[in-house]
Amino acid sequence: MVKVPVEVKDVLSNQKILPVATASSEGVPNVIFVGLWKFIDDERLLLVDNFFKKTRKNLEENPIVAIVGFDGEMPNFRSYQVKGRAEITTSGDHFDEASEMSRSKELQAKAAVIVHIEEIYNAAPGPDAGAQIA
């Protein structure tokens, strides 16, 4: 796992709705939006599964997740890709937290997906586009 730099945390947190990409075991890609999520700490994200369908199936056969965020405010135009390995939990503290986050939106959590962050890349345009930063 890697530690998420504060600027990456800021960009994802300010974006609020995260595009989350997964792939099947055969490599078929899928991308969704996730609004119910939080950083657990500097190395892990929690995604709340209320409605995951292809996403859940993909995660069960291939746990690798990619997320992209951007902050279009000038002059700080920033964008980062975060990649990690997902762990699906349906009980315990993180599931309880997912359930609590869901209740506030009158939804029900089916699972808590903990993303253990493994790689972070700069995804803003310019000479450092694509550079691995963690």
Ligand X SMILES: Cc1cc2nc3c(=O)[nH]c(=O)nc-3n(C[C@H](O)[C@H](O)[C@H](O)COP(=O)(O)O)c2cc1C
Residue 101 neighbours by CB under 8 Å, 6+ apart: 36, 38, 48, 109
* Shortest reach from residue 96's CB to ligand X, in Å: 17
Nearest residue (CB) to ligand X, 55 versus 81: 55
- Asked if residue 46 lies in contact with residue 114, where contact means CB atoms within 8 angstroms, the answer is yes
Nearest residue (CB) to ligand X, 83 versus 110: 110
Q: Tell me which residues touch ligand X (CB under 6 A).
A: 17, 30, 32-36, 48-55
* Shortest reach from residue 3's CB to ligand X, in Å: 25
In 3D space, the residue among 60, 42, 69 whose CA is nearest the CA of residue 124 turns out to be: 69
Token couple for 126:
């310019």
Nearest residue (CB) to ligand X, 55 versus 79: 55
